[in-house]
Amino acid sequence: MKIIVTGGAGFIGSHIVDAYLERGHEVHVFDDLSTGQTANLNPKAKLHQVDIAERGAATRLEQIKPEILCHHAAQMDVRHSVADPTFDARVNILGFVNLLEAGKNSGLKKVIFASSGGAVYGEQETFPAAEDHVTRPASPYGVSKRAGELYLSYYHQAFGLPYTALRYANVYGPRQSTQGEAGVVAIFLSMLLQGKTPVINGDGRQTRDYVYVDDVVAANIAALQADFVGEVNIGTGVETNVLEIFGNLREALGSTTEAQHGPAKPGEQRRSCIDARHAAQVLGWGAKIPLGEGLRRTAHWYRNSLSQ
């Protein structure tokens, strides 16, 4: 199949590009390289350095005529979305609609959309949260992800365009950026390997559902062929707090560095965990990499990456 992966030079997108290419698909990458890295790019993929909110991106999509749009390009910094919601909406809402319009006009067969389990549910009422949990986004970023899902529902109803919106838990693994709104795993590993003292926000007992990037890639492969239309959680259903993550990473690196505790982030969710049982039914998917193994693999990659 001919597939466009937006954000294909980024953390999650680049792993998906690799997997699609390995399975013989023709892959085009749309990325403005504002956060994506050329080092992540698979040379077998065709890079189109475009801004998804510009007409040029729509024109390029219409020329390529992909069968699948796998959309991972995003303004993904929650704090930046709060500081500049207009920019967040330009990229995450207007940019996505720009591509959907182009796809509608050029024979697009399906959209796979990277959504966010933590951000669209907001402060949860039940743990883990299933797909029918109330959506109450607590940031413009979360609002934009939910808006993307609603636009997909509209395009499906109005034009028959199938879609699968994957509501990711906290994804971690090799290639994750250590800059900006980076994941805590990447930040801790970077600091420990550089001999710096990591800072844990608050008491460190805030929990997240951590899912390894290879498992996320498997969900994007499953979504290519699945008939399911709608939103589906991609996570483990297991809560892990920050103290446990830090302890696991110290052990993986053989480090004796202690973390310091700083003030809690204002407005940070205390708990976040999603129920992914529906994914087994509609995608035949389930997380396979245990947290300890995933953290060891990630630590090994960062150790090698930072030593080069």
CATH 3.90.25.10 domain span(s) along the chain: 171-208+238-272+290-307
Choose the CATH number for 171-208+238-272+290-307 among 2.60.300.12, 3.40.30.10, 3.90.25.10, 3.40.50.800.
3.90.25.10
pLDDT at residue 308 greater than cutoff 70: no
CATH 3.40.50.720 domain span(s) along the chain: 2-169+211-234
Radius of gyration over alpha carbons of the chain, in Å?
Answer: 19
Pick the catalytic residue: 20, 141, 168, 212?
141
> What's the chain's average pLDDT?
96
pTM for the full model?
0.97
Tell which residue, 246, 249, 240, has the closest CA to residue 298: 249
Cα-based distances in Å from 165 to 111, 153, 224: 8, 10, 12
Whether residue 122 contacts residue 129, with contact meaning beta carbons closer than 8 Å, is answered with: no
Q: What is the CATH number of domain 2-169+211-234?
A: 3.40.50.720
Tens of pLDDT, residues 26-67 = 999 999 999 999 999 999 999 999 999 999 999 999 999 999
Cα-based distances in Å from 112 to 120, 165, 239, 281, 304: 17, 6, 26, 17, 32
Tens of pLDDT, residues 96-139 = 999 999 999 999 999 999 999 989 999 999 999 999 999 999 99
Tell which residue, 16, 298, 17, has the closest CA to residue 182: 298
Catalytic (active site) residue 212: no
The pLDDT score that the predictor gives to residue 182 is 67
The pLDDT score that the predictor gives to residue 77 is 86
